[in-house]
Structure 1
Amino acid sequence: MNNAQYILAKIDGGAVNQIAKDRFPKAKGLSLSEMSTNIDVIESVITGKADFAVDDATSFMGYMKNNPNKIKRFFDEAVGVFPAVMLL
């Protein structure tokens, strides 16, 4: 996927931008506005605007459950891990 022939769908300002820079620097990017949802990212792949997307497993699993055979998981391992912090 780290090839200029592939297009990665991503939301501007999201964590995927760092993953794209680190893991897929040669791939082209399809930037979606910050108002976009995870579903918009997935739909970009389904409609052919992008070749692949990277997002949290929960979003993909939910979509796959409700839309069988529309998308498939490409990597078995995580392509990036970010710590989560909650301020109280």
Structure 2
Amino acid sequence: MPMVVAPLFADQSYNASRVVAAGAGVSVATSLDPGVVPPGLPEDVRSAVLHLLDDPVPRATSRELAYEMAHHTPVRTLIPAFEAIAERQA
């Protein structure tokens, strides 16, 4: 699913940049001040959504990323390997 991301704080700006760099979505500018809505934000969100609805590339990219994530080795399968390394170094 292509995403419209609106980073507000912490690592969200970095995460938004990764979504955009991957081609899986669009980022809109937000304010770090609580309760402050930047001028034009509603129109920016509307434009971003329309862009994602019209452009098949972010949809295809999102589908590819979803496939890759679904076929990744789950992190939990690595835990025994980490435990074995820790035991050897203890």
User: TM-score when scaled to structure 2?
Assistant: 0.27
Q: Which has the higher helix share?
A: 2
Bigger fraction of residues in strand = 1
> Which has the higher Rg, Structure 1 or Structure 2?
2
